[in-house]
Chains A and B, each alone.
Chain A
């Protein structure tokens, strides 16, 4: 995306460095001549920077302009009912910047202002109600960090190694701190006596957009931890993430996180809408399909090194890092293999895993410059161990489309470049 044209000599040097790996870069930095970036006064150390009125709401510095959402044109018929990808290869920590957090729409990102917003709750409730946006801000609020992973994340990889980069293979995910009102509070405001025994009841939720994205959620989940959220990472939701109000369904497939949510209906049976019959059902090898595969199972990926984040510094100290998450609870451990799964080392979690949230792991290592087959393997608090793609295929075949939480392999070459591969 850069508009800058690298000088020929520098480009030539860097191409050499990319090909020859550590040797050139190391000799460059080992030069005995003084570094002019230190010995000469630089403009920024002499002149002035921008005033505080230059940027009322800032974007990243231009040198980070490759840390952006990307789409893959051939995946969908058009860009309206489509997906793009979070640049997870370039991020660290766990909080996803909203501006580059992935989008998935079925009829585009709509513009719905707070004054036009209405939320209806109806069906088997004591008092069908309509709320304005202002009403929602008057209920007691909670804050929680959760990942939202598209059910189709890694779905293009079922039949083989296809897309070359963690952004594309694992980037249908974001992780934000949400502020909102428990869905339980809204349901109680409408009253659930009319629903009778809640064990066999459901809520049907739909958005204000043309696709509506209606989904059925069992009452037990609705009363447990779902949030009617209006803030993410401290500020209002972005338009493309459901402004002004979305549903947060911790640990469950992203499709159920209904954006621009306009209606909640308490029902005595699932609606079996398009998004839970035609889509978001997982076909097994025998042609029978699973429905209501809500939870996202434990998963991880090495984000660096990876195809879009090659090693450019040569051998020696190397930070191997990545993300792990589970829809069934907290991540308790991540193992990393450098030899394609023959041997494993337990990585360091940046902080203890939180339930249904991204967890950052590091393996601080000393790279000998030899090729590596990098893998990561997550474990969650249920004892579940992230499976290989072979293990998943043995149960499901190759046509599940959704819920591919297999172990990913990056083939790192001696020149530091990495490729998405499958290994035996």
Chain B
């Protein structure tokens, strides 16, 4: 590494217990996973208790809450369904996110074995394993999700920038302009007393021109 500027002697050494408490992230190769394991049937029970009220008994989602299963082969559709099975590239992310941030409103309340079991159940819900499957620290890294290769690194510089650079058209850029879509037709904008055109109806807010335009 290159030479760096002075240090200030601020802060104090992080203790191993402190690092262990906060450094919970799991990498795609499984680095960071704790010891433990869980099977599909245990996961089904934990999922029913902890997750199903929002995500559904079969991880299919309730109301607007995220669907965790389904959507295979829909990524090129008009309305793709992106789930752990159809979209997520790495199983590590599922384990890591459930472990740190779920259940919503009661995060970091699950034991490692419960997380292994929940993740096993999510795989089962996505038809990716049989109902006797056991997920463990050992079996983890060898597991590949279907959309593992579905991602490319940002290529905007190559695919877009050459098209949209340089002096743009200033006059006679096109022959005509037609309205092709209108937000008012869809009419999904929140209507509030002072929003939009209603604003001009507010008694104290109206500013009239002080002079006629010259």
> Measuring CB to CB, which residues of chain A are less than 8 angstroms from any residue of chain B?
1-2, 4-7, 10-11, 14-15, 17-18, 25-26, 28-30, 63, 65-66, 70-74, 76-77, 80-81, 106-107, 120-123, 127-131, 135, 138-139, 160-165, 168, 185, 188-193, 195-198, 204, 206, 210-212, 214, 262-263, 265, 267, 269, 271-274, 277-278, 281, 283, 285-295, 297, 307-310, 312-317, 335, 339-344, 373, 377, 379, 382-387, 391, 395, 398-399, 411, 417, 419-424
Q: Is A340 a contact of B177 with CB atoms below 8 Å?
A: yes
Instruction: Spot the interface stretch: B42-50, B100-108, B111-119.
Output: B100-108
Instruction: Spot the interface stretch: B1-9, B33-41, B122-130, B136-144.
Output: B1-9
Residues in B neighbouring A1, C-beta threshold 8 A: 192-194
Q: Which of B136-184 contact A (CB under 8 A)?
A: 150-156, 159-161, 163-166, 168-184
Residues in B neighbouring A212, C-beta threshold 8 A: 100-101
| Contact A128/B13 with A198-B1, A339-B177 known, Cβ cut-off 8 Å | yes
Q: Is A292 a contact of B153 with CB atoms below 8 Å?
A: yes
Q: In the complex, which of the residues B23, B27, B79, B197 has the most CB atoms of chain A within 10 Å of its own CB atom?
A: B197
Complex Cα gap A195–B204 (Å): 62
Minimum distance in angstroms from B105 CB to a CB of chain A:
8
Q: Is B206 a contact of A423 with CB atoms below 8 Å?
A: no
Q: Is B197 a contact of A423 with CB atoms below 8 Å?
A: no
Identity of the chain B residue whose Cβ is nearest the Cβ of A61 in the assembled complex: B204
9 sample A-B contacts, Cβ–Cβ < 8 Å, listed by A number: A2-B194, A4-B202, A77-B65, A204-B25, A277-B151, A287-B150, A292-B153, A297-B156, A398-B78
Identity of the chain A residue whose Cβ is nearest the Cβ of B84 in the assembled complex: A278
8 more A-B residue pairs beyond the given contacts A14-B200, A341-B177, with a C-beta to C-beta distance below 8 A? A14-B201, A17-B200, A29-B209, A206-B25, A291-B154, A308-B195, A385-B165, A411-B182
Minimum distance in angstroms from A375 CB to a CB of chain B:
10
Complex Cα gap A129–B59 (Å): 40
Nearest 7 CB-CB pairings of A with B: A316-B213, A340-B177, A287-B75, A287-B76, A66-B194, A6-B203, A77-B64
Residues in A neighbouring B189, C-beta threshold 8 A: 72, 163-165, 168, 307
Identity of the chain A residue whose Cβ is nearest the Cβ of B102 in the assembled complex: A210
Residues in A neighbouring B26, C-beta threshold 8 A: 271
Q: Is B107 a contact of A107 with CB atoms below 8 Å?
A: yes
Q: Is A385 a contact of B209 with CB atoms below 8 Å?
A: no
| Contact A421/B179 with A70-B190, A122-B19 known, Cβ cut-off 8 Å | yes
Task: Return the contact of A81 from the options B10, B88, B104 (Cβ within 8 A).
Answer: B104
Residues in A neighbouring B1, C-beta threshold 8 A: 192-193, 195-198
Q: Is A73 a contact of B165 with CB atoms below 8 Å?
A: no
Q: Is A273 a contact of B170 with CB atoms below 8 Å?
A: no
Complex Cα gap A165–B201 (Å): 17
Q: Is A307 a contact of B196 with CB atoms below 8 Å?
A: yes
Residues in B neighbouring A265, C-beta threshold 8 A: 23, 25
Complex Cα gap A262–B19 (Å): 12
Complex Cα gap A127–B90 (Å): 31
Minimum distance in angstroms from B101 CB to a CB of chain A:
5
Residues in B neighbouring A66, C-beta threshold 8 A: 192, 194-195, 199, 202, 205
Chain B interface SS verdict (over half): loop
Identity of the chain A residue whose Cβ is nearest the Cβ of B213 in the assembled complex: A316
Minimum distance in angstroms from A298 CB to a CB of chain B:
9
Residues in B neighbouring A204, C-beta threshold 8 A: 25
Residues in B neighbouring A6, C-beta threshold 8 A: 201-203
Q: Is B209 a contact of A290 with CB atoms below 8 Å?
A: no
Q: Is A129 a contact of B177 with CB atoms below 8 Å?
A: no
Complex Cα gap A391–B213 (Å): 39
Identity of the chain B residue whose Cβ is nearest the Cβ of A424 in the assembled complex: B178
Complex Cα gap A235–B40 (Å): 51
Identity of the chain A residue whose Cβ is nearest the Cβ of B190 in the assembled complex: A72
Complex Cα gap A310–B181 (Å): 20
Minimum distance in angstroms from A166 CB to a CB of chain B:
11
Complex Cα gap A387–B156 (Å): 13
Complex Cα gap A71–B195 (Å): 12
Q: Is A189 a contact of B25 with CB atoms below 8 Å?
A: no
Complex Cα gap A210–B100 (Å): 7
| Contact A2/B204 with A272-B93, A277-B90, A422-B180 known, Cβ cut-off 8 Å | yes
Q: Is B168 a contact of A26 with CB atoms below 8 Å?
A: no
Residues in A neighbouring B181, C-beta threshold 8 A: 160-161, 421-422
Q: Is B152 a contact of A423 with CB atoms below 8 Å?
A: no
Complex Cα gap A70–B89 (Å): 35
Q: Is B177 a contact of A342 with CB atoms below 8 Å?
A: yes
Residues in B neighbouring A18, C-beta threshold 8 A: 197, 200-201
| Contact A162/B164 with A287-B75, A290-B155 known, Cβ cut-off 8 Å | no
Residues in B neighbouring A198, C-beta threshold 8 A: 1-2
Q: Is B170 a contact of A286 with CB atoms below 8 Å?
A: no
Residues in A neighbouring B79, C-beta threshold 8 A: 399
Residues in B neighbouring A168, C-beta threshold 8 A: 189-190
Residues in A neighbouring B22, C-beta threshold 8 A: 120, 262-263
| Contact A290/B168 with A14-B200, A210-B108, A263-B22 known, Cβ cut-off 8 Å | no
| Contact A165/B195 with A191-B7, A274-B93 known, Cβ cut-off 8 Å | yes
| Contact A341/B174 with A161-B186, A423-B179 known, Cβ cut-off 8 Å | yes
Minimum distance in angstroms from A222 CB to a CB of chain B:
13
Complex Cα gap A17–B206 (Å): 11
Q: Which of B52-78 contact A (CB under 8 A)?
A: 54, 63-66, 75-76, 78
Q: Is B7 a contact of A290 with CB atoms below 8 Å?
A: no
Minimum distance in angstroms from B71 CB to a CB of chain A:
11
Q: Is B192 a contact of A417 with CB atoms below 8 Å?
A: no
Q: Is A14 a contact of B151 with CB atoms below 8 Å?
A: no
Q: Is A342 a contact of B164 with CB atoms below 8 Å?
A: no
Q: Is B93 a contact of A273 with CB atoms below 8 Å?
A: yes
